[in-house]
Amino acid sequence: MSTTPTGPSATADGSVVVPRGTGRGEEPDRVVPTWTDPVARQASEAVGGPWGRFATTGRALFWTPLRVCLLFAVLALSLAWVKQAPCADGDWSGHVQYTHFCYSDAVPLFGLHGLDDGAIPYLDSEVEYPVLTGGFMAAAAALSRAYDRAAEASALLPAVPPVQSYYVVTCLLLTACAFLVVRAVLALTGRRPWDAAMIGLSPLLVVHAFTNWDLFAVALAALGMWAWARRQPVLAGVLLGLGVAAKLYPVFLLGGLLLLCLRAGLLRVWLRTALAAVAVWVVVNAPVAALAPENWARFFRLNSSRPADPDSLWNVALHLTGNRILDGPLAEGQTPTVLNALVAVTLLAGVAAVGWLTLSAPVRPRVAQVAFLLVAVFLLTNKVWSPQYSLWLLPLAVLARPRWRSLLLWQATEALLWVPRLLWYLGPQDRGVDVEWFLLAVGVRDIAVLAVMALVVRDVLEPDRDVVRTSWPGVDDPAGGLLEHTPDAVVLGRSGQRLP
């Protein structure tokens, strides 16, 4: 990197050389996005151009990177609320949930699970989600009932349908979760705090922030990664265990840490994290499993018996072959045994490939790189890919490869997929679209995810291309915690070595 205070310059291959001086004999205390990312540099023209060579950083009294990134999140979530507003009162006559692209699981499940009558999930009604997500739903319902009683007692508060107050409370709680994700990601970026803006300005956040309750699990997983980065493995395990109690996918973060700790010879540290995660998961689940075993097990039964989800590659394959492969046509409630077996085999193969990459790469991969690849493999091979599941990838993708162009292109495919999905539900007879348009959008989205995965793999195999490691001297892995700068103990094909 250049040490002259002359501003950024482009090399012959189009990459950007970042100056380490500011023109005043000082060095910036963080990576400047408009010096390092062409998209950020081009976007900055709307507000006066890239950061100047004589500018200083770290002296803002109020508009710190965190507050600016949180403001970005407020703007994105405000757009998300405007998009969802037509569906908030529960009046979905005329298929408004499809024509206005505002469908959310929270609205129909409010009555379906008896939350409108004060039912307690699992104890009084069946819930197809892990226990902590059911608790989140119950907490939102309790808060909304408190608001409804206050509105009845006071003319100062507007009275709204119970489903609307519940949905508003749910959205507010999910908004708080989104803020926690931004905060955690910023803490995990090291000298690149502005990478957290990729969360706040995310098109995926606008489209799916309030589609389901997944932001709750995403926040717990991000906080768990933050605790790991702060070298608190037990706290990391507690938070990741809570995340698994809300959604299954944080298990793959624990799996990624296992691979990295195996390579670094830190299996005892990982074991502390894993035991804490298991203990917390048991503490959360055991009371519900004891009091309502049938309802508690419904989540596991459903995942075994359900067919291929519309957004999955397996459904695309079934459609293209006229449902003549896998299990063929299934009776109501019949378990797709062939599909389940193929999902398990392909998932294990994908995890094994990521494991081989982790243990054989020239430099130990970063935590976010391995976690992103594992979760992406899970989504691509799983028989269920609900639209909001893509939020799981968002913070991991930002941390794994913080480049605006590739992340925006991938998220554009996610946002566009929402349109044909709902128009397909609407049906051609109601000015919707045929299933082929929806499946085409699924294919485009999957190709985009594979492309981001390929870029991450390239960065792992060629560490000099990893912008996190090359943008600041001496950086190994800002999210690595005890892994950072730890010598390798197990490397496939060669002896262990110390990271640079």
92-128: per-residue pLDDT in tens? 999 999 999 999 999 999 999 999 999 999 999 989 9
The predicted model gives 464-475 an average pLDDT of: 89
The string of pLDDT tens digits covering residues 251-268 is 999 999 999 999 999 999
Cut 0.75: pTM above it: yes
Average pLDDT along the chain: 89
Higher pLDDT, 200 or 28: 200
* Residue 151 scores a pLDDT above 50: yes
Whether residue 78 lies inside any domain: the answer is yes
Share above pLDDT 70 across residues of the chain, in percent, rounded to a whole number: 89
Lowest average pLDDT, out of 60-64, 236-240, 288-292, 376-380, goes to: 60-64
> Domain tally for the chain?
1
Whether residue 19 lies inside any domain: the answer is no
The predicted model gives 408-435 an average pLDDT of: 94
Question: Residue 317 contacts by C-beta under 8 Å, 6 or more apart in sequence?
Answer: 325, 326
Do the beta carbons of residue 403 and residue 192 sit within 8 Å?
Answer: no
Whether residue 33 lies inside any domain: the answer is no
User: CA-CA distance, 381 to 314, in Å (whole number)?
Assistant: 8
Higher pLDDT, 358 or 39: 358
Higher pLDDT, 52 or 359: 359
DSSP string, 279-297: HHHHHHHHHHHHH-HHHHT
DSSP string, 18-37: PPS--SSS---SS--HHHH-
The string of pLDDT tens digits covering residues 45-94 is 666 666 666 566 666 677 899 999 999 999 999 999 999 999 999 999 99
* Residue 417 scores a pLDDT above 80: yes
* Residue 6 scores a pLDDT above 50: no
Whether residue 20 lies inside any domain: the answer is no
Range of the domain at 174: 60-483
Whether residue 363 lies inside any domain: the answer is yes
Q: Looking at residue 51, what is its pLDDT? A: 61
Q: Looking at residue 52, what is its pLDDT? A: 60
The predicted model gives 322-346 an average pLDDT of: 87
Nearest C-alpha neighbor of 167 from the set 144, 150, 134, 133: 144
* Residue 346 scores a pLDDT above 90: yes
Whether residue 74 lies inside any domain: the answer is yes
The helix (run of H) or strand (run of E) holding residue 390 is none
* Residue 34 scores a pLDDT above 80: no
The predicted model gives 427-442 an average pLDDT of: 92
For residue 474, the SS3 value is coil
The predicted model gives 488-494 an average pLDDT of: 85
* Residue 1 scores a pLDDT above 60: no
Higher pLDDT, 341 or 31: 341
Whether residue 375 lies inside any domain: the answer is yes
* Residue 166 scores a pLDDT above 90: yes
- pLDDT confidence tier of residue 472, bands split at 50, 70 and 90: confident
Query: Half-sphere exposure of residue 108, counting CA atoms within 13 Å on the CB side?
Result: 10
Q: Which tokens hold the place of 109?
A: 């499940």
Alpha carbon 135 to chain centroid, angstroms: 20
Whether residue 10 lies inside any domain: the answer is no
User: CA-CA distance, 443 to 446, in Å (whole number)?
Assistant: 5
The predicted model gives 428-445 an average pLDDT of: 93
